[in-house]
Amino acid sequence: MIYTAPLKDMLFDLKHLANIDAVAQIPGFEDAGFDTAQAVLEECAKFNEGVLAPLNWEGDKNPSSWHDGVVMATPGFKEAYQQFAQGGWQGLQHPVDFGGQGLPKTIGAFCGEMQQSANMSFALCPLLSDGAIEALLTAGSDELKAVYLQKLVSGEWTGTMNLTEPQAGSDLAMVRTRAEPQADGSYKLFGTKIFITWGEHNMAENIVHLVLARVQGAPQGVKGISLFVVPKFMVKADGSLGVRNDVHCVSIEHKMGIKASPTAVLQFGDGMESAKENGTGPGAVGYLVGQENRGLEYMFIMMNAARFGVGVQGIAIAERAYQKAVRFARERVQSRPVDGSIQASAPIIHHPDVKRMLMTMRSVTEGCRALASVSAAAYDAAHGHPDAEVRKQNQAFYEFMVPLIKGYSTEMSLEVTSLGVQVHGGMGFIEETGAAQYYRDAKILTIYEGTTAIQANDLVGRKTARDGGQTAKALAAQIAATESQLEKSGTVAGRSMAQRLKTGREAFIEVVDFVAGNTKASPNAVYAGSVPYLMLAGNLMAGWQMARAMQAAQEQLAAGVDTDFMQAKITTAQFYAEHIMSRIPGLRDSILLGADSVMSLALEAF
């Protein structure tokens, strides 16, 4: 199963949409201009195409396994992980002070996409480590940073995120794991966490669990949750590993997809004999991150990074599915083309409907990639730009986009991977073909790190209603500016795009007014359309980036640069406008007019 990193498209986005050379003006990123980005991406492509991609299919056939508390990764994964760590890939975006390379997210996001395309099950492990690093950087004490960060950044140890419990999924207010303060300032944790990605494995020598728990006597609900570091093996004063902590993997799940990624049930403090013998006694030793009862706040920082990362997973799996579908469509011979251009059965890529499917897959993938890359650049500016006002604007932009990148890119990845199966016909339904794996793997993306509905709640509540729709309207104004530039281009594709953008923007404003005006007074009416709002906004924002891509490609075309690529970009953007953005008015109508039919059926009638 071949994977070829879409370097050309990535470099186009970096240069013309994310403006990497402007990112390189930010203090600390001086060496991260276009040439560095290109060199890093090319190296990254080699590793992912050559090492991780060939293991993806193996992971599906031969998932990670559990025996007596020990989890063995798919054969080949451990060696690949060592290569990954030695290559410095874990530290790409992390601070130089802790051994990282300190590159901007604008570059890191593309490397993340390649890893996820190559092997999503594998790449989840470093993604979770990224989250743990982010949490420690944000809220960890100097002491915690000194013990854990370097090892996590180097990839010698891996990180996990322990939120979910049997009764606490979307609703983290229900977390019950308890933390008992100890005389030495540490805590002992007791409880069960479920669905913990890479919660136990043999790829690295230690695992650093970031765990949400309640300190005895803490307030009820989300205001009483604290965040702890719980290492699998205790760390001695000299940094070497000590005894096993009282956290154990009770089982791993059998899943529909991402089978090589072990999804663990972790028991904290079950008083196992080993813990008693080790002298740590029952209870998993944990160290408070930041202050008591502020755990969810810190976890949200970690989750924002992880939500962006999961959105990128959606783009990545869509890219992989697209590449596979194109290869098949060129080879599979079936039926004469309707236009009579070939007087015999021809490769199915000649059929208009197959081209429609491939164009849908391609345009959505490129649109979502463009949105993620521009948002990554906003993240970098929000963190490092010297001007406070610029930082603030970029932070608002990034925060608005995170639920869209997570929600829209992953929902669309289901459409794309489903089309990938469809292009293959009956062979798509047969596992050996490989198209089905992408479809099965993609399904988790709309569920973990907050379901699509939870992303939509964030978009409605925090990102739209809270500021009365101000941020959304500011984005609409920027979209209007792109429209007028495109109108001036005078091309058919440009005018078509400008028209769709205008229709989409006006629908977006209507919905934003509706959401901002009614969330308090008629919450059911607004939340009945929350996911359609997320899909509308995601569709429009990705379309806006495709419009900018079209503009840039027209300029490059006029200058005679890489004309085949630029022409294809213009056509792909035009397709996005005419076939994907054209869905926006329907979404608007469902949101503004459709709440009654969502809500009115009595519960007994279901």
Chain residues that interact with ligand FAD, rule: CB under 6 A: 161-164, 169-170, 195-197, 255, 263, 444, 447-448, 450-451, 453, 457
Do 48 and 92 touch, CB atoms closer than 8 A?
no
**Nearest CB to ligand FAD, comparing residues 20 and 225:** 225
Q: How far is the CB of 172 from ligand FAD (least distance, A)?
A: 9
Q: Active-site residue among 200, 366, 399, 449?
A: 449
Comparing C-alpha atoms, which of 285, 242, 287, 239 is closest to residue 141? 287
Q: How far is the CB of 196 from ligand FAD (least distance, A)?
A: 5
**Nearest CB to ligand FAD, comparing residues 288 and 303:** 303
Closest-CB residue for ligand FAD? 169
Structure tokens at 156: 């010698």
For residues 500 and 363, give the distance between their C-alpha atoms in angstroms, rounded to a whole number: 15
**Nearest CB to ligand FAD, comparing residues 111 and 444:** 444
Structure tokens at 567: 């022409």
| CA-angle at 33, arms to 28 and 35, nearest 5° | 140
Comparing C-alpha atoms, which of 316, 325, 317 is closest to residue 355? 325
**Nearest CB to ligand FAD, comparing residues 246 and 458:** 458
Comparing C-alpha atoms, which of 10, 26, 14, 19 is closest to residue 380? 26
Q: How far is the CB of 98 from ligand FAD (least distance, A)?
A: 23
CB neighbourhood size of 574 (10 A): 22
Q: How far is the CB of 480 from ligand FAD (least distance, A)?
A: 32
**Nearest CB to ligand FAD, comparing residues 73 and 163:** 163
CB neighbourhood size of 256 (10 A): 11
**Nearest CB to ligand FAD, comparing residues 71 and 381:** 71
Q: How far is the CB of 166 from ligand FAD (least distance, A)?
A: 8
Q: How far is the CB of 54 from ligand FAD (least distance, A)?
A: 23
Q: How far is the CB of 264 from ligand FAD (least distance, A)?
A: 8
Q: How far is the CB of 165 from ligand FAD (least distance, A)?
A: 8
Q: What is the 3-state secondary structure (H, E, C) of 386-436?
A: CCHHHHHHHHHHHHHHHHHHHHHHHHHHHHHHHHHHHHCHHHHHCHHHCHH
Q: How far is the CB of 193 from ligand FAD (least distance, A)?
A: 7
- What is the full DSSP assignment across 228-253? EEEESEEE-TTS-EEEEPSEEEEEE-
Q: How many CA atoms lie within 13 A of 104 on its CB side?
A: 35
For residue 70, list its beta bridge partners: 67
Comparing C-alpha atoms, which of 154, 22, 25 is closest to residue 100? 154
Q: How far is the CB of 377 from ligand FAD (least distance, A)?
A: 28
Do 195 and 243 touch, CB atoms closer than 8 A?
no
**Nearest CB to ligand FAD, comparing residues 6 and 407:** 407
The SS3 of residue 48 is helix
- What is the full DSSP assignment across 259-318? TTS-EEEEEE----HHHHHTTS-SSEEEEEESSTT-HHHHHHHHHHHHHHHHHHHHHHHH
For residues 37 and 101, give the distance between their C-alpha atoms in angstroms, rounded to a whole number: 12
For residue 532, list its beta bridge partners: none
**Nearest CB to ligand FAD, comparing residues 170 and 334:** 170
Buried b (16+ CB within 10 A) or exposed e, 81-118: beebbebebbbbbbbeebbbbbbbbbbbbbbbbbbbbb
Helix %, strand %, coil % of the chain (to 5) = 60, 10, 25
**Nearest CB to ligand FAD, comparing residues 263 and 471:** 263
Q: How far is the CB of 417 from ligand FAD (least distance, A)?
A: 16
**Nearest CB to ligand FAD, comparing residues 114 and 444:** 444
**Nearest CB to ligand FAD, comparing residues 448 and 575:** 448
Residues in the chain: 606
Residue 449 is a catalytic residue: yes
Pairing of strands 178-181, 187-197: antiparallel
Do 41 and 10 touch, CB atoms closer than 8 A?
yes
- Residues with Cβ within 8 Å of 578's Cβ and at least 6 positions away in sequence, in order, are 496, 500
Comparing C-alpha atoms, which of 433, 409, 231 is closest to residue 325? 433
Question: Catalytic positions, please?
Answer: 449
